[in-house]
Amino acid sequence: MTEELIFDVEGLDCADCALHLEEALQRTPGVDKAMVDFSLARARVSPSAGADVRREVARVAHDMGYTVRTQEDRAEQAAPGWRARLWRRRRDLTTLGAGALIAIATLLRALGTAEAAVATAFVAAIVVGGWYVARAGWGTLRATHSLDMNALMSIAAIGAVAVGEWAEGAVAMFLFSLGNTLEGYTMDRARNAINGMMDL
């Protein structure tokens, strides 16, 4: 019997996301069974006999906007440098970037700058804040053939741009991204507490 593989999943910030990732992993060639535990941010994968699915699991997760590592990899990895820490928080940085661009656009409008420059700043905020949102939505659509909240939010932002509501689209995308960021921090704390209790 092939040994079950256990992966830690980074970037898993909602229960719906966990369900979509689980469905995508179950569709992955060479995988007999997959289960994603949202509370622990952990995926358990049972490969078919003789199948090495580590690379495929990593690819599927990456396409959906997540990073997976085996627990052995986590134990062997040295303390990350500042670049690695920034890379892990890249979604948080894009949220901050979107907020900064919205502030710049608002300032430009208050100063009476040409509307084209204001619109450009708002659209840039949508792109920056929605980059990982759209990527996750597209990955879920490709893997499971269904729309999740990320995909719906991306469609709403595109619609706002199409009708010229730059500010509304930018603020909505920023708030959605900020909500995901705060939820991610909350879940990280809860998972650390759960893991600490399990260690005890």
82 or 40, higher pLDDT: 40
C-alpha distance across the termini of the chain, in Å: 30
Co-location of 152 and 189 in the same domain: yes
Asked whether the predicted pLDDT for residue 2 surpasses 70, the reply is no
Proportion of the chain above pLDDT 90, given as a percent: 26
Mark whether 98 and 171 lie in a shared domain: yes
Give the whole-angstrom CA distance, residue 41 versus residue 18.
Answer: 8
Amino acid making up residue 78: A
In this structure, the answer to whether residues 94 and 14 fall within a common structural domain is no
What pLDDT, in 10s, does the model give residues 130-153? 988 888 888 888 877 888 888 899
Question: What is the predicted pLDDT for the residue at 74?
Answer: 57
- The reply to whether 115 and 183 lie within a common domain is yes
Is this prediction's pTM over 0.85?
no
Taking only the tens place, the pLDDT of each residue in 91-140 is 888 999 999 999 999 999 999 889 999 999 999 999 999 988 888 888 88
pLDDT score for 149: 87
Same domain, yes or no, for 71 and 124? no
Q: Report the percentage of the chain scoring pLDDT > 70.
A: 88
Q: Containing domain of residue 139, as a range?
A: 82-199
**d(C-alpha 84, C-alpha 74), whole Å:** 14
Please indicate, yes or no, whether residues 59 and 86 belong to a single structural domain of this protein: no
Q: 156-192: string of b/e by CB count within 10 Å (b at 16+)? A: ebeebbeeeebbebbbbbbebbbebbeebeebeeebe
Residues 135 and 177 grouped into a single domain? yes
**Position 89 pLDDT exceeds 80:** no
